[in-house]
């Protein structure tokens, strides 16, 4: 919390734990904030930004922080600090962004006493192989001391929120039943994707792990037909403006960097779980059903399941499709 931006989601994985190790305590900071007296809430809102510092932690911690060199300690004091508000808001309403270790506030004592009541706290007793993931902004967590001879071996994971950018991808509000589509494509015959003019040895010359089946007949009363009608209307497409394929990127294989042959694509991910698309210079983007700027160089990472997609390869460019979409 001594940085302005913290990871939105964090996880702990328990490798091994012995009896007597401290649980991890999770406090719901939405519920805790809601329970505060109205005048205290208003005072905290009025206080605005306050200091969150590692120096506070050094002063307050009951266990010494393991920094040996005075120069390192000075460096940490200087760099590990930021200003932030204690009252924050997300889609569920206001919550308290407060740490007994790092936060300075005129109302520190009241907040520290009222926010961490037992009724807002869940204590997780660890078992080997547990994985707990939580919203790091709205759930505060702590542990108590564990004697040195007791094993408490946890690994912490911090998750970034993928950056959203309309330059690369736009989610589409298409309605469809994924299971019905999967059923409709069951009988298709797949062949490796091929670009005959690609250089010898190039992945796309004959992509054995990236299979394709073109859908040439579309039944109006089927689920794919239903998707086609919606896509045509949303993006102002005629039958000649696109081709429709199902792709299967086999499990544990990747697709190397490329730009598509067609300028734009609309893709529905049909697999339960799948790798994101990774745009070069931007990063991973997850989606279920989206319009994609396939002229931006991209790759698809490997994943443990087949990545099955229904893909409209569109002859119009991404910008014109986006304009049609925005006029709706
Ligand atoms: Fe592509």
What's the 298 CA to ligand 1 centre distance in angstroms? Answer: 6
What is the end-to-end Cα distance of the chain in Å, rounded?
A: 42
CATH class label, 169-326: mainly beta
Every domain of the chain and the residues it spans: 9-159, 169-326
| Secondary structure (DSSP) of 99-118 | -TTTB--TTHHHHHHHTT-G
The strand pair at 152-159 and 139-143 is best described as: unpaired
**Any residues with CB less than 8 A from the CB of 60 and at least 6 apart, and which?**
100, 101
How far apart, in whole angstroms, are the C-alpha atoms of residue 186 and residue 81? Answer: 57
Per the listing, tokens 């991910």 go with 269
Distance 178 CA to ligand 1 centre (A): 21
Distance 14 CA to ligand 1 centre (A): 38
Q: Which of 27, 1, 31, 25 is nearest to 12 (CA)?
A: 25
pLDDT at 62 over 70: no
Residue 65: pLDDT band (50, 70, 90) is: low
What is the number of other CB atoms lying within 10 angstroms of the CB of residue 133?
A: 12
Distance 326 CA to ligand 1 centre (A): 24
Instruction: Give me the phi and psi of 224, to 5 degrees please.
Output: -65, -40
Question: What's the predicted TM-score (pTM) here?
Answer: 0.64
Given a cut of 70, whether residue 64 has pLDDT beyond it is: no
Residues 326, 303: contact at Cβ < 8 Å? no
Q: What is the average per-residue pLDDT within 240-255?
A: 97
Q: Matching CATH topology for 9-159 and 169-326?
A: no
Q: Which CATH class is domain 9-159?
A: alpha beta
Q: How far is the CA of 229 from the centre of ligand 1 (A)?
A: 23
Mean local confidence (pLDDT), 313-317? 97
CA of 292 to the centre of ligand 1 (A): 9
The rounded Å distance from CA 290 to ligand 1 centre is 13
How far, in Å, from the CA of 265 to the mean position of ligand 1? Answer: 8
């Amino acid at each position: 919390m001594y940085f302005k931006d913290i990871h939105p989601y964090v996880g702990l994985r328990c490798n091994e734990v012995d009896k007597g190790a401290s649980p991890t305590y999770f406090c719901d900071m939405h519920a805790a904030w809601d329970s505060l007296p109205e005048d205290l809430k208003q005072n905290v809102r009025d206080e605005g930004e306050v200091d969150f510092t590692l120096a506070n932690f050094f002063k307050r911690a009951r266990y010494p922080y393991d920094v040996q060199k005075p120069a390192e300690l000075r460096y940490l004091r200087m760099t590990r600090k930021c200003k932030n508000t204690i009252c924050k808001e997300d889609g569920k309403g206001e919550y308290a962004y407060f740490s007994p270790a790092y936060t300075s506030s005129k109302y520190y004592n009241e907040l520290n006493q009222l926010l961490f009541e037992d009724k807002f706290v869940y204590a997780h007793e660890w078992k080997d192989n547990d994985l707990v993931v939580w919203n790091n902004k709205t759930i505060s967590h702590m542990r108590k001391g564990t004697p040195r001879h007791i094993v408490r071996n946890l690994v912490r994971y911090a998750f970034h929120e993928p950056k959203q950018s309309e330059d690369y991808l736009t989610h589409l509000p298409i309605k469809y039943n994924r299971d019905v589509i999967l059923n409709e494509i069951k009988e298709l015959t797949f062949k490796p994707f091929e670009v005959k003019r690609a250089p010898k040895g190039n992945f796309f010359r004959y992509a054995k792990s990236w299979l394709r089946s073109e859908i040439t007949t579309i039944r109006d009363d089927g689920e794919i037909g239903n998707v086609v009608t919606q896509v045509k209307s949303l993006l102002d497409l005629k039958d000649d403006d696109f081709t429709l394929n199902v792709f299967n990127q086999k499990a544990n294989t990747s697709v190397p960097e490329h730009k598509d042959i067609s300028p734009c694509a609309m893709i529905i991910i049909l697999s339960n779980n799948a790798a994101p698309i990774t745009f070069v210079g931007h990063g991973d983007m997850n989606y279920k059903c989206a319009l994609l700027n396939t002229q931006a160089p991209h790759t698809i990472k490997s994943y443990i399941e087949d990545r099955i997609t229904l893909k409209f390869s569109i002859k119009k460019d991404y910008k014109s499709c986006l304009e049609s979409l925005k006029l709706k």
